Amino acid sequence: MQAFNPFLPANEYIPDAEPYVFGDRVYIYGSHDRFNGALFCLNDYVCWSAPVSDLSDWTCSGVIYRKNQDPMNRLGLRILFAPDVARGADGRYYLFYAFDFLGVIGVAVCDKPDGQYQFYGHVHYPDGTAWGRKKGDEFPFDPGVLVDDDGRVYLYSGFETAVPAIASRFHGHKNSGGVVLELEQDMLTVKNGPKLLFPLKTNHAPEAFRGHEFFEASSIRKIDGKYVFVYSSTNNHELCYAVGDRPDGEFSFGGTLVDLGDLYLDGNTDETRARNYLGNTHGGMVRLNGDWYIFYHRQTNRHSYSRQACAEKLERTADGGFRQAEVTSCGLNNGPLAGKGEYPARIACNLWSRQGTVRYDRKFDKSIHPYFTQNRPDGDERAVQYIANMRDGAVAGFKYFDIVNAKHIRIVANGRAQGLLRVSVSPGFEESAAAVPVRTDSVLTNTMAELRIPDGIHPLYFRFEGDGAMDFYSFELN
């Protein structure tokens, strides 16, 4: 079997995924978006896992923690934001989470990595006061947890955006940047801190972080004896990293790990020329079969409330750092996809309109942009995901395929459109590899054309040229 991006089923929306290997499986712990939801993270936490030996075989263990299990949220009115998990010295698994903007960090515990977690408590000071409930406390948000080799426990947190007015008024929170606290072995009690590690852009961030200052999404790993801190920058659509010699010491800027639109890869910083639509992203790193991967999430449905988990392999630099990964369709596949067979259009890693791309967290004209969506409600396993609203000049790109003697291409499309779907191995379409006729009238159509691509590893780009709006479902190489 092959692995695609997004690597979970088409109807699943898991952002903020933190990956960990426990035993012979890799588990991801993330928030849980609702398809076409009106807010972030409306569903309860679930856990997905796969054998390390087969990263295409993901299975869901179901709901592992419900929002109303926390006594501060018995009515279930607050939503569960990005979590993290750590295995304690006692061998149990501890789930750290924050309720939207409540301003506390909750902890649940379980004997299994994907079992039913039970409420355990809130991170608190020795006197029992919850962290975030003393005047002047840093705002608790996006917990990241590290249990070091010596058993010491560190909690990372932080948020760039101004603290919501209600939380600030009642609890006197402040936001200085990314902070670290050391916890006692009980995984709850503050032993030291908080200590500021990553000042905000507005709080004298070090010069080395300029243009990539801390925003949110704290995640921490220990790699080759160094502490590697992953975070979302003020650009919002990239994950960066910093490296330190101590878990609570000074960190130096490492670089960008992944950007949703492949900005910064080739010196391009123009968000309108990004290779995909932009929004927030959040994730972490894990080593699988000897290679390091960065997990992140993409945006769908023309907003930031239906996000999906993706992953890319990372290359190391000579000094032990990491190069920025390119966003692809084959992240966990350990190589290009087979150059023959049928592929869903939903695995496109590049998508833009004739007018370029936009950020989903800002106002834009929705009528002119293509987007990923699905044809059934949230949670329906029969849902089919596709690219909607491909108008004249819209491009969908897929990377990469190992083409061997492929002679034809077949596309499945819908919508109301008439024209051509041109295929090329170049995003600029300097050469055409195929021109597939498109004529749809709200009925799924299959159309085949001759394909002219030399053998080798290639991306594939599809550009609609014509009238109306095409919905792109799949393509087949043969």
Gap between the Cα atoms of 298 and 301, Å rounded? 11
Q: From start to end of 42-88, where are the E strands?
A: 45-51, 59-65, 84-87
Residue 139 amino acid letter: F
Q: Is residue 6 a contact partner of residue 308, using CB atoms and an 8 Å limit?
A: yes
Gap between the Cα atoms of 172 and 159, Å rounded? 15
Give me the active site residues, please: 16, 216
Gap between the Cα atoms of 433 and 215, Å rounded? 42
- The label of the residue with tokens 């300029």 reads 210
Gap between the Cα atoms of 468 and 391, Å rounded? 6
Which of helix, strand or coil describes residue 419? Answer: strand
User: Which residues on adjacent β-strands are paired with residue 293?
Assistant: 286, 313
Q: What is the CA radius of gyration of the chain?
A: 23
Instruction: Give the residue among 70, 66, 112 at the shortest CA–CA distance from 93.
Output: 112
DSSP 8-state secondary structure symbol assigned to residue 189 = B
Gap between the Cα atoms of 302 and 29, Å rounded? 24
Gap between the Cα atoms of 53 and 76, Å rounded? 38
